[in-house]
Amino acid sequence: MPIIKVKKLSKTYEYYKKSPGLWASVKGLFRREKLFTEAVKDINFTIDEGELVGFLGPNGAGKTTTLKMLSGILYPTSGEASVMGYTPWQREKEYQKQFALVMGQKNQLWWDLPAMESFILNKEIYEVPDKDFKYNLDELVELLGIKDILDIQVRKLSLGQRMKCELVAALLHKPRVLYLDEPTIGLDVIAQKNIRDFIKKYNRENKTTIMLTSHYMEDIKELCDRVIIIDRGIIIYDGGLDSLIAKYAPYKELNLTFNGDGVRREEIKKFGQVAKYEPFAVTLKVDREMVKDAARKILASGLPVDDIMIDEVDVDDVIRRMFNDSRNS
């Protein structure tokens, strides 16, 4: 049973053209040229309860606009959406009590007070009973390991600590649906990993439906079995990450290290397409089905092989190729 249903959803922004220069600004006082941007165009998808779906796309692709419509901040220009049976932009209290939106670039915690104060405020806003509040808080604090920072002013926390507190604030009312917009933005590698591990565990244990947008491929690779890729307002891919790679990267990479005198380009290129060449380190692109065979042949060829590794191509490359394809078509 899908918990989120989106049908032909579109959003067009209106804005006014602002040319540079003083004279243009003066002219703008009297006559303004109206422009339109189609941020989201006729998108369709459904998400099942408990799914963790990655929403991927370059800046301005329409990811945040979609999340804003699903959380009821924006009215769509046309189309329908239903989350848990509610139409988000009608902003029914019953709906609002069952979802949460976390934006990595905005904070909801009170800046000059300890995070605990904001948690208590949210408890009252979401009308969470005392017992549930205590239970949920303990669970989240334990999972995120932030017991010792609850009484420190939010502005004195590091970005990573703050993001953990943001997550606690958003999850205290146990939402069934969670929208995460760039939750790891600006964090260092370790903090990113902590947040990722938490999201993964939380989704698994609580069966919370999560939609996550991110620029970081690691987030998507680690967390999401399914990705929706959006570019210039259009969904260009919706499916498993595995099949995405199989479809857009029909080859694997053979990373070879040589010793002795190394190899010459001519000696190696008959085994596959040379992606990177140095006398002692070569990367070959080989068809998925052929890769084991190629490795065997290289080992048997008498070349001074020191090491051989078969790697999956980088998802980043795959996605980049996809965007190129979609723009050229």
Partner 1 sequence: MNFNKYLAITKIEMSRQLQHRFQVASYRVGNLIEVIIPLIIWTVAFRSAGVIKGYTYDEMITYVVVGWLILYLTASYGFERVLALLIYDGALSQFITKPISFLRYAFTLGFSRSLLAIFLSLIIQAGVIFIAREHIVFRAGLLDGLILILMVALAVVIRLFYSILISLAAFWTDEISGVDFTASSIIKFFSGAFFPVNILPAFFMNLSLATPFIYTYYFPVQIVLGKVSTVSAVKGLAVELLWIFIMYAIIKIVWRAGLRKYESVGI
Q: How far is CA 152 from CA 146, 168, 191, 213, in A?
A: 11, 15, 19, 29
Tokens describing residue 256: 């070879």
- Does position 135 bind partner 1 by CB under 8 A? no
For the CB of residue 283, give the shortest distance to partner 1 in the complex, in Å.
44
Interatomic CA distance for residues 79 and 75, integer angstroms: 10
For the CB of residue 284, give the shortest distance to partner 1 in the complex, in Å.
48
- Does position 118 bind partner 1 by CB under 8 A? yes
Q: Which of 4, 10, 61, 123 binds partner 1 (CB under 8 A)?
A: 123
- Does position 217 bind partner 1 by CB under 8 A? no
Nearest to 115 by CA among 164, 186, 184, 70: 164
Nearer to partner 1, 32 or 265 (CB): 32
- Does position 321 bind partner 1 by CB under 8 A? no
What x/- string results for residues 43 through 72 when contact with partner 1 is judged by CB under 8 A? Answer: ----------------------x--x--xx
Q: Which of 59, 127, 302, 328 binds partner 1 (CB under 8 A)?
A: 127
Q: How far is CA 311 from CA 144, 253, 292, in A?
A: 33, 5, 11
Nearer to partner 1, 7 or 91 (CB): 91
| Binders in 74-93 for partner 1, by CB under 8 A | 74-75, 89, 91, 93
Question: Hey, which residues does 5 pair with through a beta bridge?
Answer: 46, 82
**Quick one: which H or E segment has residue 309?**
strand 305-311
Nearer to partner 1, 112 or 148 (CB): 112
- Does position 112 bind partner 1 by CB under 8 A? yes
Residue 207 CA to its chain's centroid (Å): 19
Beta strands in 208-280 (DSSP E): 209-213, 226-231, 234-240, 251-258, 273-278
- Does position 251 bind partner 1 by CB under 8 A? no
Interatomic CA distance for residues 322 and 312, integer angstroms: 17
Nearer to partner 1, 171 or 315 (CB): 171
Quick check: helix, strand or coil at residue 152? Answer: coil
- Does position 32 bind partner 1 by CB under 8 A? no
Near partner 1 by CB under 8 A, which window of 124-132, 226-234, 239-247, 314-322? 124-132
| Binders in 140-159 for partner 1, by CB under 8 A | 153
Quick check: helix, strand or coil at residue 157? Answer: coil
- Does position 97 bind partner 1 by CB under 8 A? yes
Q: Which of 24, 120, 189, 299 binds partner 1 (CB under 8 A)?
A: 120
Quick check: helix, strand or coil at residue 53? Answer: strand
Q: DSSP letters along 66-113, please?
A: HHHHHTTSS--SEEEEEETTB-GGG--HHHHTTEEEEETTS--S-TTS
Nearest to 195 by CA among 219, 229, 173: 219
Nearer to partner 1, 117 or 267 (CB): 117
Nearer to partner 1, 121 or 191 (CB): 121
Near partner 1 by CB under 8 A, which window of 117-125, 201-209, 254-262, 272-280? 117-125
In angstroms, the first-to-last Cα distance of the chain is 35
Interface residues with partner 1 (CB under 8 A)? Answer: 13-15, 65, 68, 71-75, 89, 91, 93, 96-97, 99-101, 103, 106, 108, 110, 112-113, 117-118, 120-121, 123-127, 153
